[in-house]
Chain A
């Protein structure tokens, strides 16, 4: 009878429980020894709902096997009648077609295995006896077959017991047999279990490693579980039980559907079902509603394993809550800025227009009124610049700025921008070092915004009217653009910070419009072109602002 999934009763006291896939052997001297072992072995199989196949030899024939079974197994005729046990003489199995063929015999076993599963048995328990082996060649062939069995049965639900006559085996042959089996049984007064030293070492290592693995898994911060194809919990660690608001004992052996009756309708279950059917791995985030109405967010990683699925899950409910709050606040803030910006522009429009009307009226008079009104107009412009920055930043953050990309002449655009800045910044000598034509793929308007931003910065931060050099060139598949000024330069250590939001070099604060968002906006624009933006400063000798964008834009 099975006690735990995958573990079977061998029926032999000295062996105890064995997992599916066990392939072991026994050396016998007398017919009594052989019969004793095999009857107990098959009795356990029959009682444990296993399909049993026994291939007999001349040493203990089919008829003798049936007699022993009938004598020792209660209700044997019933098992025999319903076909739970089949007994073949070796001539109808190993030597069915006159000679031994390894693949044919392996396939016969696998066919019986499938038949057994189809009939509804838990698995198959078999035994064979190579008493018929005569020549050296027979031995070698059979030895190769024995070595192949482990690969052939793999993780299948098969138990194999091979029986060898001790008298027929030479010393060398015994070594072969022991090597090809996980362990051997031999009778010297009492039954003894023999394992090769190699096997013992491997098992000890496996055992230690499994213990270490289990203890790691048990105490992992993430929840871990193994479920079978029926979504039954085979293994559950401590964290998982906590996450599931229950205990390990309540979960193991039950199916997910029994524990969470509504789970079949959830997204989590659909994911798991998908992984189970397609045998694929997946990582996903999901919200889970517990039977008591509580909800939680989990990051789940699913991996198919022979038993079913191995699932890791991390409780990310708190993280989700924080993210959600932040997203809501961000949205609120952006909405507010957007509306406030628009609403502020409306009164400013009339203030500005009135100011200019007044300027026109007073500009004919010879007093200082017009001059004062003009200053007023400048202040209004300053406020408008601040609002524009606000709106740009909200849009950039919302990803609302549309970047329609096309090919255009970069040099022509720079010339226009330089002319525009030059016209309002008389006294500066802006030198252009540009190729006549420079085809660039990008958003003309937004790149112009960056160029104008660099130029106006150069003007703002070099109050002594001096030279500004504007350069553009192609270098290694990139467009390189730079604006060099000879002003105060960027304060040391702030080269990276100036592209952040709201940063402005303190010294240049006077006479500067806007919020200092210009470079931040520029860096966002360049980022959207898959480019790089930066500044090199030479202390008090000015600074060089540059950007690079790839000429071929990857879509």
Chain B
């Protein structure tokens, strides 16, 4: 069974290429370009969230906080992605499991994703 990743990113170009890369490497990717969609799709319970720090008017760090507070989602790993240099500090503050600075090497992306979803039983549905 394929591992499922929910990708929330407002830049179409980045969203597109990350989807390509992750799918090429055997993951199922659900994309959301804004928080509203991300919330709507939440019931699909992915194996990993990849959140951009700035998503439209909202921001990934808030989604991360919410996910980590909710008993139903707190066990799902979250990785924050951003071009911001404060990323490391923000990630620590909101309890993200990992972070990746933009622009990134796709090898780094894949290594981190692999590590985060490893051992997780693929979600049903």
Shortest B56–chain A CB gap in Å is 14
Q: Which of B21, B83, B85 contacts A353 (CB under 8 A)?
A: B21
Shortest B29–chain A CB gap in Å is 14
Whether A353 pairs with B106 at a CB distance below 8 angstroms is yes
Does A384 sit within 8 A of B, measured CB to CB? yes
Q: Which residue of B lies closest to A383 (CB)?
A: B103
Q: Which of B11, B16, B104, B106 contacts A346 (CB under 8 A)?
A: B11
> C-beta contact mask, A379-413 vs B, less than 8 Å → 1, else 0?
01000100000010001000000000000000000
Interface size classification for chain A: 10 to 19
Residues of chain A within 8 A (CB-CB) of B104 are: 349, 352-353
Which residues of chain B from 1 to 31 have any CB-CB distance to chain A below 8 Å in the complex? Answer: 11, 13-14, 16-18, 20-21, 24
Please, how many angstroms separate the alpha-carbon atoms of A357 and B110 in the complex?
Answer: 12
Does B84 sit within 8 A of A, measured CB to CB? yes
Does A347 sit within 8 A of B, measured CB to CB? yes
Whether A357 pairs with B20 at a CB distance below 8 angstroms is yes
Whether B13 pairs with A350 at a CB distance below 8 angstroms is yes
Shortest A452–chain B CB gap in Å is 16
Whether A346 pairs with B14 at a CB distance below 8 angstroms is yes
Secondary structure call for the A interface: helix
Please, how many angstroms separate the alpha-carbon atoms of A346 and B52 in the complex?
Answer: 11
Which residues of chain A from 529 to 547 have any CB-CB distance to chain B below 8 Å in the complex? Answer: none
Q: Which residue of A lies closest to B20 (CB)?
A: A357
Please, how many angstroms separate the alpha-carbon atoms of A348 and B14 in the complex?
Answer: 9
Please, how many angstroms separate the alpha-carbon atoms of A522 and B94 in the complex?
Answer: 31
> C-beta contact mask, B100-111 vs A, less than 8 Å → 1, else 0?
001111110100
Whether A350 pairs with B16 at a CB distance below 8 angstroms is yes
Whether B14 pairs with A350 at a CB distance below 8 angstroms is yes
Given contacts A356-B105, A384-B103, contact A346 B17 (CB under 8 A): no
Please, how many angstroms separate the alpha-carbon atoms of A86 and B102 in the complex?
Answer: 95
Q: Which of A347, A356, A380, A384 has the most CB of B within 10 A?
A: A356
> C-beta contact mask, A354-387 vs B, less than 8 Å → 1, else 0?
1011001000000000000000000010001000
Please, how many angstroms separate the alpha-carbon atoms of A350 and B20 in the complex?
Answer: 11
Does A345 sit within 8 A of B, measured CB to CB? yes
Whether A352 pairs with B21 at a CB distance below 8 angstroms is no
Q: Which of A342, A347, A357, A395 contacts B106 (CB under 8 A)?
A: A357
Residues of chain A within 8 A (CB-CB) of B106 are: 353, 356-357, 360
Secondary structure call for the B interface: helix
Whether B102 pairs with A391 at a CB distance below 8 angstroms is no
- How many residue pairs link A and B with beta carbons under 8 A? The number is 52
Shortest A449–chain B CB gap in Å is 12
Please, how many angstroms separate the alpha-carbon atoms of A384 and B103 in the complex?
Answer: 8
> C-beta contact mask, A322-350 vs B, less than 8 Å → 1, else 0?
00000000000000000000100111111
Whether A346 pairs with B102 at a CB distance below 8 angstroms is yes
Please, how many angstroms separate the alpha-carbon atoms of A350 and B83 in the complex?
Answer: 12
Please, how many angstroms separate the alpha-carbon atoms of A380 and B104 in the complex?
Answer: 11
Please, how many angstroms separate the alpha-carbon atoms of A74 and B89 in the complex?
Answer: 91
Shortest B117–chain A CB gap in Å is 19
Shortest A377–chain B CB gap in Å is 9
Whether A352 pairs with B24 at a CB distance below 8 angstroms is no
Residues of chain B within 8 A (CB-CB) of A354 are: 17
Whether B85 pairs with A345 at a CB distance below 8 angstroms is no
Whether B85 pairs with A352 at a CB distance below 8 angstroms is no
Residues of chain B within 8 A (CB-CB) of A346 are: 11, 13-14, 83, 102
Whether A347 pairs with B13 at a CB distance below 8 angstroms is yes
Q: Which of B18, B20, B84, B107 contacts A342 (CB under 8 A)?
A: B84
Residues of chain A within 8 A (CB-CB) of B83 are: 342, 345-346, 349
Residues of chain A within 8 A (CB-CB) of B20 are: 357
Shortest A125–chain B CB gap in Å is 77
Q: Which of A342, A346, A347, A357 has the most CB of B within 10 A?
A: A346
Whether A380 pairs with B24 at a CB distance below 8 angstroms is no
Please, how many angstroms separate the alpha-carbon atoms of A357 and B107 in the complex?
Answer: 10
Q: Which of A348, A353, A354, A391 has the most CB of B within 10 A?
A: A353
Shortest B54–chain A CB gap in Å is 9
Whether A353 pairs with B14 at a CB distance below 8 angstroms is yes
Whether A353 pairs with B84 at a CB distance below 8 angstroms is no
Residues of chain B within 8 A (CB-CB) of A350 are: 11, 13-14, 16-17
Q: Which of B21, B83, B85, B104 has the most CB of A within 10 A?
A: B83
Contact surface of B with A, Cβ cutoff 8 Å: 11, 13-14, 16-18, 20-21, 24, 83-85, 102-107, 109
21 contacts across the A-B interface (CB closer than 8 A): A342-B84, A346-B14, A346-B102, A348-B103, A349-B13, A349-B103, A350-B13, A350-B17, A352-B104, A353-B14, A353-B103, A353-B106, A354-B17, A356-B21, A356-B105, A356-B106, A356-B107, A357-B24, A380-B103, A384-B103, A395-B85
Given contacts A349-B13, A353-B103, A356-B106, 18 further A-B contacts (CB under 8 A): A342-B84, A345-B102, A346-B11, A347-B13, A349-B14, A349-B83, A350-B11, A350-B14, A350-B16, A352-B103, A353-B14, A353-B17, A353-B18, A357-B20, A357-B21, A357-B24, A380-B103, A391-B85
